[in-house]
Amino acid sequence: MGFFNKLRQLAEDGTKMAQDGYARFNNAAFADATMAACALIGAADGQIDSQERSRTAQFITSSDKLRTFDVSKLREKYERYCDVISRDFDFGKIELMQVIGKVRKPEEARAVVQLAVVIANADGDFDAREQAVMREVIHALGLSPAEFGL
């Protein structure tokens, strides 16, 4: 299966999971990991573009995929993680990878990846640098990038 087919499948799986309910993952570690992953992907080129940051934050607050969460808290977490990575990319990346690594249940880790891919792709672009960061996120979650076509 090609990468774009796999990406489409991840988005469809994320949509199905959202319909089935992310509610079972409604905990702080899951929310933190997902928002940290989104901030990292947004900063894949070493900085977060303000327009991309704004679009992602808007998607977080308006997505029906996230309706089981307190979206204002998710957006606050996302903004906080964007600030961390913006202040110092290298140290911020280490900090956010540690946050992501706290999710260890495989089903929950896969949901983090699926949601992060859906949110990261909200701008319609999932370039090579973002894919590389996503592979690092997947490793931090104890999963294999091959499982996701990366």
Band of the pLDDT at 137, cuts 50, 70, 90?
very high
List, for residues 27-58, the tens digit of each pLDDT value.
889 889 999 999 999 888 888 888 888 888 88
Percent of the chain exceeding pLDDT 70 equals 81
Please give the distance of CA 90 from its chain centroid, rounded to a whole number.
Answer: 18
Band of the pLDDT at 19, cuts 50, 70, 90?
very low
Q: pTM of the full predicted structure?
A: 0.81
What gap in Å lies between CA 114 and CA 10, rounded to an integer? 6
Q: Please give the residue that has the higher pLDDT: either 121 or 133.
A: 133
